[in-house]
Structure 1
Amino acid sequence: MKRTILQIVFSLIVLAAVVSFADVGKVAEVIAGANLAYFAVALVFYFAINAVMAYRIQMILEYLGTKLEYKKILTSHFSGMLASDFTPARSGYFATAAVLAKNHKVKSGEALVSILGPQMFDFIYKLVAGGIGAWYLFSFVIVGAGENAGAGIVLGLLGLFGMVAFMALLLFSQRFLGMISFAERLPFGGKALEMIGKMQENSHAISALTPHILVLIFITWIFKAIEWWFIAMSLGVKPEIAFAPIIFWGFVQPIITLLQFMPLPTIAGAGVSEAGAAFVLMQFGIGLPQAIAFTLMTRFVMILVDSVGIVEGIGWIGGNKRKSQS
């Protein structure tokens, strides 16, 4: 608990420093002048992204023979998304599996595979799209920026590649499970290994449903590009580009969100993500106050909509407390 509080405090300090550097007054002025109609459209598309993500969880669970009301899956998903908004590397999203298992009696192995499998493909998409975006950025936009320019983006790509490899091994490799058997000696290690073993028993669902998962990820990619486009329009942010804005936001978005998945001591890369985003956006003629305002609003959209999962999350936390007291 103390560690979480320290991370939140540190994140707020970093965010405050970034905003101050950009001029608090100017950032506030940009946000205050937001077009609420465009902002509302962005909220709708972010909700739609999560609705699709919840549907793919339901699709995997039903393939494994578990039927659960879509509304319950959606609120469980949002509780995990909300947790990811306040955890380093957005790792809190995996709480979705715990909520499904605890609140709705979904088998732990099935719940975990329904989260980890699609998330692996999500990371691959971010790796590919972010890599293409970074290549374009460094090849055609900031050729003379120097060796240290965008180091965070490169680290994010490498970190994400490592996460994809690790997730693939957890999902499909029994040999890897044997290699980490030493974890049994750690507190809760035996239980974790048992859960991973159960997850591997259900991993065939991911192989069978790969085409469907990829189509759904493509849909969420388009929705995300539209969401960011409308946030930009709501703030009057107009990148200097020679192609359609939806293409720009479709490839810039994964570059910027890569920084949120880096294992940093801030909540979901807070501060570092904003600074990195400002660096990227400024290369396309966007002023620093506008760039910071944009990144703050993208984070606000997530937290606002993800709050749908508060009640589900409280139910899970309350159940754990009652169990610990009994």
Structure 2
Amino acid sequence: MPSTFTAVSYGQTLSPAVMEKVRTVLTDHGYTIASERGEHHPGFEAVVLELGSLAPSGTTDAQAAARLARLRKALTEAGAGEVSTAVVPDSLRHAARKFIIMDVDSTLIQQEVIELLAAHAGAEAEVAKVTAAAMRGELDFAESLHHRVATLAGLPESVLAEVGAKVKLSVGAERFVAQAKAAGHVVAAVSGGFSQILAPLAERLGLDFALANDLEIIDGHLTGKVSGAVVDRASKAVQLQTWSAESGIRQGATMAIGDGANDLDMMAAAALGVAFNAKPAVREAADAQINLPNLDVALALANIQDA
């Protein structure tokens, strides 16, 4: 695993007292702070602390991972909700080209599209309940998707345009994608939602890759089925690996961002897995957490500067 990392502390405000706790945790765990700088972004602040090696010579990958996990836990406790600190591999931060992949519903956008569609069928409450359980990892995603999509049977195709017009990007999403693209990085979105909604959004943002499920439409109406294989947690990880390889970007320069259990495999496959205002189980498994409404905190994590 990478031997050098950078700690990035971020929040709406960064008090001197909390930052001193962060520095103390790092030094108490044996890490040297080589340099420190502050960054000001719309809606949040960040402090970047360059660290030396986190793995002494002779440390195995398992030992290094365990040591890093202990550090991350201690930093989370030090922040106490006021500030988050991510320990980011320098293979990502210093890469000339990075690959960034995001979930869509409740990550790139603020809503769950299936719930917006279900409202037209009078099934919003039922679908929202199933969606929440699936995102917590309590239900098989493919099975839950088929159940939810079945409630849409008979809706006219026109509801897709109506719902698409209601979609709201997450705060900072447009800035995040635009700045990453302007700096020459590759940005992708993969969704357990629907291509009929994602495709125009991907075109608008200029995403390099996008994939979602296809709602089956016959004679101008939704059939309540999806066409082809379901985009589930395993396929999301496959797309990360496939698209990053096609782009000539190694695994060490990849970042995956998501909020639900369906995103866990791709987050694990990335050099940095980021939980965005996520469910508890996802936050626990992630390398980093963004618990602000700002998706563009990821710019600070990945060291993507204004072009």
TM-score with structure 2 setting the length: 0.33
- Higher-RCO chain (CA-CA 8 Å, sequence separation at least 6): 1
Q: TM-score, normalised by structure 1?
A: 0.32
Which structure's residues are more often helix, by fraction?
A: 1
**Structure number having the greater strand percentage:** 2
